[in-house]
Amino acid sequence: MHHNVALLSVATTIAPRITTSEDIDRRLQPALKRLRLPKGLLQRVAGVHERRNWAEGQAFDDAAVSAGKRALAEAGIDPSEVGLMINTSVTRKHLEPSVAVRIHHGLGLPSSATNFDIANACLGFVNGMTLAAQLIDSGQIKYAVIIDGEDADEIQTNTIERLGRPDIGRKDFMSEFASLTLGSGAAAAVLGRADAHPEGHRILGGVTRAATQFNDLCVGSVDGMFTDAKALLKGGMELVVSAWTEAKRDWSWSNMDRYILHQVSDVHTNAIVKATGLDRTRVPLTYPTYGNVGPASIPITLSQEAAKLERGNRVLLMGVGSGLNTAMMEIQW
């Protein structure tokens, strides 16, 4: 539980280039015909009709810096006051240095601002918010920026090229299906002390749980993302239900005003809604048009929904990440 932390702002950079699932179907047509697979699987099975990609010359870290600058401006916080910046991007250009150092420099943060990457698949952003909230509660820092930028271009291109090879079978095709749902985007959030910012949105706390025996069910790199979809869904739902049940000892989340889920697919969303008994009308979706933007999915969806939220609304951030891990965080709007 957090005692004196508020979300002050959340901003996004939406990638401008639209790649439709029909476009991908056309590029995969020879493979679909050879494997006797129907068109429209991405739309009918995943519910992903479009995803975004960066324009020529755009970089994911520049997009993240842009989102961060707008988040700071919206919160009214000068960069010199930031004590912590956490980058949660899955995407990276190289193993070292961290992506965080490029973003720290781009935001013009002071030398005193601690900066590093957190890598925890699609849960990184929520994990980053939790860590930042703990440091704010302890009085170690006044403000934190959590930031994420993703670029799905390379993995899309590599996956489509590989799926067109004559040695790829149906099982291989379906194991890489999730790679085709990925999209690009960036998001940033600013956190600070609630007593200094009564206009902010209180971060009340949450739960995390792990089922790391499933660490090999979804493994990704720039070459592709390879999943055992059936086992992944089963293990993920068991973990969510376990965490949801345990959380009832301290939290009451059955009647939230919004459930901001990590954006994956129709199958994933339907499974979580059914497993936890959520009101589907309170679960906004962005994956039909943005795809799965990794850790940026939750803040992008929250940002899109923010204009519809009213003061006092209860919002629950929820996600399952490869590994497997789950995290849930309550915000009082």
Residues annotated catalytic, as ranges: 96, 122
Task: Report CA-CA distances (Å) from 133 to 67, 127, 138, 203.
Answer: 20, 10, 9, 8
CB atoms within 10 A of CB 108: 15
The one-letter amino acid at 309: L
According to DSSP, residue 148 is labeled E
Structure tokens at 107: 């935001």
Q: Is 18 helix (H, G, I), strand (E, B) or coil?
A: strand
Alpha-helical (H) ranges within 59-152 are 60-75, 99-107, 124-137
The one-letter amino acid at 265: S
Q: Is 269 helix (H, G, I), strand (E, B) or coil?
A: helix
Structure tokens at 145: 């920026």
